[in-house]
A = this chain, B = another copy of it.
């Protein structure tokens, strides 16, 4: 709808901590590298007036506000980027959607366990890359660090800090997921290994400019995992950046995300990932927790018929 408007899209962002800083960086730079619809970084919203004012100045937002409800009802705001903590996320999203705004953008999850924080990304990646569906899961969660220093001395930790799961996929593949907040020396590692009969793919978020690839269709004597430095103009998104061999950073993934989001808005196509994609991941996480509570017994997932409208409340429960 916005594509018909003459004026630039108005963007509001709610939250300005880690994720707000990263998303602001993407908004500030996306139009310098990609051909996207015109937009303006209009309002930054936060609870603390002084804090939000300082952040707005640093991150390139024109106005500030401490009242997200007012902002999302403004006629000149078309896009609401919710970077608020997880527990606030669903409430804001529902209100923004009811006000007819575009919403997709990644939340800052806080207070959730390793399953919710980390496995969610891993499972999302598996489903996106394979275009597959999960039909059943077996899971296990654990809390290695049971107490942490708190206001009242040593406080009990109530969320898991490690989780394991096996997922049966509709295609016949099996995905094994293992996440941990206590794997010493692994700083932000998110490793994917995908094995097929014609080849295999490796990826690690700590080296996100590289792809490990093995082509199993050639002669055995020439097979081996190769390190592809994903910096050629032929690689998706990359020709917008620098010449070959010049790597990009983690934050540019958000620039790509916003580029896709803006492009989807301008062409009237549904943004990807969609709310439904998020709901699917959340249902899988719920089933893993259910399995973990039932001595790791395999749990069947009721697969939603394709195209079935998904109630937003279901998503908000999980978020």
Q: Flag A212-239 by CB within 8 Å of B: 1 or 0 each.
A: 0111100111111111110110110000
Q: Flag A176-201 by CB within 8 Å of B: 1 or 0 each.
A: 10101011111111000101111110
Q: Identify which of A22-30, A83-91, A278-286, A307-315 touches chain B.
A: A22-30
Chain A residues within 8 Å of chain B by Cβ, number: 81
Q: In the complex, what distance in Å separates the CA atom of A60 from the CA atom of B214?
A: 40
Establish whether residues B25 and A244, one from each chain, have CB atoms under 8 Å apart when the complex forms: no
Q: Which of B22, B144, B195, B235 contacts A182 (CB 8 A)?
A: B195
Establish whether residues A180 and B206, one from each chain, have CB atoms under 8 Å apart when the complex forms: no
17 contacts between A and B (CB under 8 A): A22-B242, A28-B32, A31-B58, A138-B295, A183-B195, A184-B198, A185-B200, A186-B200, A187-B244, A188-B244, A223-B228, A224-B226, A224-B227, A225-B227, A226-B227, A242-B251, A249-B249
Chain B residues with Cβ below 8 Å from A252 are 249
Establish whether residues A174 and B216, one from each chain, have CB atoms under 8 Å apart when the complex forms: no
- Distance in angstroms from A167 CB to nearest chain B CB is 11
Chain B residues with Cβ below 8 Å from A128 are none
Chain B residues with Cβ below 8 Å from A58 are 31-32
Q: In the complex, what distance in Å separates the CA atom of A1 from the CA atom of B58?
A: 24
Q: Is A296 at the interface (CB under 8 A from chain B)?
A: yes
Chain B residues with Cβ below 8 Å from A259 are none
Establish whether residues A220 and B234, one from each chain, have CB atoms under 8 Å apart when the complex forms: yes
